[in-house]
């Protein structure tokens, strides 16, 4: 039944003008207080030049909050990061924000960003969330500059009290330490930039992970004299984990704990300290009697330089090229050229580039130019060839619905559409309705079967990890890198808890050379998919929780770096400080026996383990690989290796052995890793800081032991320096 509109034209006109007017008035009256409440009396600024980042390292964000409101603001800060193309890079939710009147600095550490665009700036959209009411207040966007993918950017941090005169001297020393000063004329300095950042001693980190924002630290005597024990312990732990520090000493007065710290840093033997202090707190040492007054030492996995006196601190002192090469871990094969000419040997970097798999699609006519480019450019390159690691971490299969359950489900379906349907509808005299009940029952059983299948698959083990533990002298774990592969059987939001650590999501396709990956419906070419931008709740590196929306059957590789403050409780009873005889057969047999005794995995644990296999061990030296125990194909770099990687070289495809234990430990990459053997810890999306072995140094031997334990591969590594 239709209705007829009886309003007069006048009424209709009045209605059409009155209603929008009322809506407008209501909107204005409602929007005024909302607008007033949506703006806080708060200004947020990013401090420069404090926010200086290194290639691959975390972003140390120094922010200043200027609160001009009455009372105190309590709540949380949410930062949404986007690149210049508007693509989301992550959302960071930082709770427990407490602001009083005036300026208040806040330091926030974000993971390293790969912007993926020509513009290397990221945009941060701050939103403040009031405690209690949950009201949200948007702030204008902030811009942060991050390192470009096209250039190697390094950071040297200066820890000092900060007088103007001392800053000039410290800047001159940093200039002498810049890696680009060692570049030969054929390369130039366009590809490397060493930046300087001032850290006041009062703001020196008390967590070693915060030092991962820099490559080396310059510590003048005035800065050392003001560092407190927690700050000293954090700096020492970072150096032992692979950092580099240059200490410049003079006649400053030091406390006892600072002198003790210097002895630990220099590796002084117990009972024979290299540094003492007199009654006035001034240092007593033997360096004054040496020719150069410069001490070069290894500390754990890191490097230490100590200079004494104004002559050695002068930027024109002759030791600085060799000192810079030592701190930056310039490859052993370059050192004679550095001492003789003050630069690395470009011809050696060209030799590395000639055997590089990164040449990819290069044709023979362009091969020379491509090699020269790879030897002269220093942008981050992926560690190509980790296919075996990704495949090892993928699940062996999926959990299926038991056959008995499937049989009962089918039997129930047959009973429902057969005798049950016939007799029930017959008793009701409604057999003609079978054409409705039959499809309804079929749809019901289908939906139940799909739900049961999804429920079964969702319980499939979807987290597996490779945990790399690097052992320093004394048998302590200096650092731990966890490479965790998430592989959901259904699209889901997956959560990762990170205690003390740096978290970085990776794109596994950068490392694994295969386009077909695990698919329960058959090995098919599937489009490259990845997890969405992660949500970070909490504060790195203290405590955080990361949530990622991961598509079905999509591997997501994440990296977590930590520098342990306490040693793991499950360390094997192996004496890491006993130096093996690597060259003789008898010495290797003794090493095998020691490893088998300390690392043997019981049969019960093997059966219970999600990752099958027993202990695998090997030794890497120069370009050689020597398997000791277990699967030799994971260690030995030989033509009969089982796992091969197809790599385009010139106009042909070649098979390269894929030993992920070797590829995670030593590098033959061109460019940056053709000059240095490794970088300081970054926790980033490249593995340059995992390279322990300088494969041009005949004195270095790397022992690697891999032990499957549950859903983890525990990889222990110990670097030995032995002269035969």
Q: Report the candidate in 120, 123, 114, 42 with the shortest Cα–Cα distance to residue 82.
A: 123
Whether 235 maps to a domain, the answer reads: yes
Main-chain dihedrals φ then ψ at residue 700, nearest 5 degrees: -95, 135
Tokens of 42: 């708060």
Q: 604 and 482: one domain?
A: yes
Percentage of the chain beyond pLDDT 70 is: 82
pLDDT above 70 for 611: no
Q: Do 160 and 132 reside in the same domain of the chain?
A: no
* Domain edge (last residue) among 145, 172, 204: 145
User: Cα–Cα distance between 267 and 225 in angstroms, integer?
Assistant: 20
Of the residues 127, 145, 163, the one at which a domain ends: 145
3-state DSSP percent of the chain in helix, strand and coil, to 5: 30, 30, 40
Residue in 235, 202, 231 with CA at minimum distance from that of residue 216: 235
Residue 350, in any domain of the structure: no
pLDDT of res. 644: 44
Is there a domain that residue 364 lies in?
no
Overall residue count recorded for the chain in this entry: 724
Q: How far apart are the first and last CA of the chain?
A: 104
Task: Return the DSSP state at 676.
Answer: B
Cβ neighbours of residue 365 closer than 8 Å, sequence gap 6 or more: none
Place 423 in a pLDDT band, splitting at 50, 70 and 90.
confident
CATH number assigned to the domain comprising residue 86:
2.60.40.10
Residues 645 and 668 both lie in one domain:
yes
413/487 same-domain check: no
Specify if 356 maps to a domain. no
Q: Judge if 479 and 426 occupy the same domain.
A: no
Rounded (5°) CA angle 589-591-592: 65
Same domain for 585 and 518?
yes
Question: Domain limits at 425?
Answer: 403-457
Confidence (pTM): 0.84
pLDDT of res. 468: 97
295, pLDDT greater than 50: yes
The predicted-structure confidence for 296-324, as pLDDT tens digits, reads as follows 999 999 999 999 888 888 888 899 999 99
pLDDT of 401-416, one tens digit each? 677 777 888 888 888 8
Stretch 96-124: mean pLDDT: 86
The answer to whether residue 371 sits within a structural domain is no
Same-domain check for residues 124 and 223: no
Choose the final residue of a domain: 300, 328, 356.
Answer: 328
Judge if 96 and 207 occupy the same domain.
Answer: no
15 located within any domain: no
- In the numeric block, which tokens belong to residue 623? 């370009």
Taking only the tens place, the pLDDT of each residue in 64-76 is 999 998 889 999 9
Average pLDDT of 360-385? 73
pLDDT band at 360 (very low <50, low <70, confident <90, very high): low
Tokens, residue 256 = 């006892």
* Long-range CB contact pairs, 429-438, < 8 A, 24+: none
Bridge partners for 629 per DSSP = 617
Mean pLDDT of 645-667: 61
Pick from 714, 622, 624: nearest CA to 677: 622
Flag whether pLDDT at 587 surpasses 90: yes
The answer to whether residues 577 and 499 belong to one domain is yes
pLDDT at 581: 93
Residue 659 confidence (pLDDT) above 50: yes
Q: Is 346 contained in some domain? A: no
pLDDT at site 292? 60
C-alpha–C-alpha distance, residues 40 and 32, integer Å: 14
Q: Is residue 654 part of a domain?
A: yes
Q: Is there a single domain that holds both residue 448 and residue 524?
A: no
User: What is the per-residue pLDDT across 617-651, written as a single tens digit (0 to 9) for each?
Assistant: 999 998 888 889 887 777 765 433 334 444 433 34
| 63 and 166 share one domain | no
- What would the pLDDT profile of 543-583 be if each residue is shown by its tens digit? 999 999 998 888 899 999 999 988 988 899 999 999 999 99
% of the chain surpassing 90 pLDDT: 44
* Count of the separate structural domains present in the chain: 4
Of 336, 380, 388, the C-alpha closest to 358 is 380
- Both 563 and 665 in one domain: the answer is yes
The tokens of 273 are what? 């300290």
Q: What is the CATH number of the domain that holds 302?
A: 3.40.50
For 155-179, the pLDDT digits (tens) are 999 998 866 455 778 889 999 999 9
164-217 tens-digit pLDDT: 455 778 889 999 999 999 999 988 888 899 999 988 898 899 999 999 999 999
């Amino acid at each position: 039944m239709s209705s007829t509109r009886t309003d007069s034209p006048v009424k209709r006109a009045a209605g059409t003008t009155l209603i929008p007017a009322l809506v407008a008035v209501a909107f204005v009256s409602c929007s005024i207080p909302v607008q007033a409440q949506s703006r806080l009396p708060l200004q947020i600024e990013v401090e420069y030049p404090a926010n200086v980042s290194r290639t691959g390292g975390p972003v140390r964000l120094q922010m200043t909050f200027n609160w001009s409101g009455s009372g105190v603001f309590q709540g949380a800060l949410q930062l949404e990061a986007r690149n210049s193309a508007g693509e989301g890079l992550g959302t960071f939710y930082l709770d427990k924000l407490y602001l009083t009147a005036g300026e208040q600095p806040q330091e926030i550490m974000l993971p390293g960003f790969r912007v993926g665009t020509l513009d290397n700036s990221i945009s941060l959209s701050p939103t403040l969330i009031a405690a209690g009411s949950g009201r949200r207040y948007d702030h204008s966007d902030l811009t942060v500059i991050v390192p470009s993918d096209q250039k190697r950017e390094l950071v040297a941090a200066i820890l000092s009290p900060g007088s103007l005169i001392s800053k000039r001297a410290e800047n001159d020393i940093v200039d002498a330490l810049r890696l680009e000063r060692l570049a030969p004329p054929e390369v130039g300095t366009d590809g490397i930039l060493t930046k300087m950042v001032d850290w006041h001693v009062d703001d020196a980190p008390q967590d070693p992970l915060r030092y991962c924002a820099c490559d080396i630290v310059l510590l003048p005597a005035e800065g050392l004299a003001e560092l407190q024990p927690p700050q000293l312990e954090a700096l020492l732990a970072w150096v032992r984990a692979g950092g580099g520090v240059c200490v410049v000493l003079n006649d400053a007065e030091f406390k006892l704990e600072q002198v003790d710290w210097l002895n630990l840093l220099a590796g002084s033997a117990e009972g024979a300290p290299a540094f003492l202090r007199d009654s006035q707190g001034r240092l007593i040492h033997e360096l004054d009697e040496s020719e150069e007054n410069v001490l070069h030492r290894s500390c754990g996995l890191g490097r230490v330089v100590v200079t004494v006196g104004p002559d050695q601190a002068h930027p024109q002192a002759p030791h600085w090229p060799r000192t810079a090469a030592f701190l930056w871990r310039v490859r052993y094969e370059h050192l004679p050229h550095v001492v003789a000419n003050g630069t690395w040997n470009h011809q050696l970097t060209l030799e590395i580039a000639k055997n590089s798999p990164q040449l990819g699609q290069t044709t023979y006519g362009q091969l020379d130019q491509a090699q020269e480019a790879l030897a002269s450019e220093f942008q981050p390159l992926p560690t190509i060839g980790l296919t075996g690691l990704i495949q090892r971490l993928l699940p062996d299969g999926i959990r299926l619905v038991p056959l008995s359950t499937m049989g009962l489900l089918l039997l129930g379906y047959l009973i429902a559409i057969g005798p049950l349907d016939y007799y029930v509808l017959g008793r009701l005299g409604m057999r003609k309705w079978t054409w409705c009940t039959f499809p309804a029952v079929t749809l019901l059983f289908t939906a139940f079967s799909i739900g049961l299948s999804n429920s079964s698959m969702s319980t499939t083990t979807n987290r597996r990890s490779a945990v790399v533990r690097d052992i320093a002298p004394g048998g302590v774990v200096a650092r731990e890198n966890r490479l965790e592969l998430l592989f959901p059987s259904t699209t889901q939001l997956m959560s990762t808890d990170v205690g003390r650590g740096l978290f970085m999501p990776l794109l596994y396709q950068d490392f694994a050379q295969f386009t077909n990956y695990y698919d329960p419906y058959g090995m098919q070419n599937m489009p490259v998919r990845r997890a969405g931008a992660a949500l970070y709740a909490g504060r790195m590196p203290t405590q955080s929780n990361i949530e990622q929306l991961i598509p079905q059957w999509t591997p997501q590789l994440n990296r977590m770096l930590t520098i342990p403050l306490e040693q793991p409780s499950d360390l094997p009873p192996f004496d890491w400080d006993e130096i093996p005889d690597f060259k003789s057969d008898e010495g290797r047999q003794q090493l095998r026996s020691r490893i088998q005794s300390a690392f043997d995995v019981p049969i019960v644990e093997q059966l219970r383990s999600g990752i099958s296999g027993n202990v695998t061990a090997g030794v890497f030296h120069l370009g050689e690989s020597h398997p000791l125990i277990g699967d030799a194909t994971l260690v030995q770099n030989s033509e009969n290796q089982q796992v091969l990687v197809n790599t385009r070289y010139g106009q042909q495809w070649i098979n390269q052995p894929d030993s992920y234990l070797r590829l995670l430990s030593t590098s033959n990459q061109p460019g940056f890793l053709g000059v240095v053997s490794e970088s300081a810890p970054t926790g980033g999306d490249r593995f340059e800081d995992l390279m322990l072995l300088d494969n041009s140094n005949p004195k270095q031997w790397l022992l690697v032991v891999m032990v499957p334990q549950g859903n983890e591969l525990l990889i222990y590594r110990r670097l030995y320096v032995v002269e035969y």
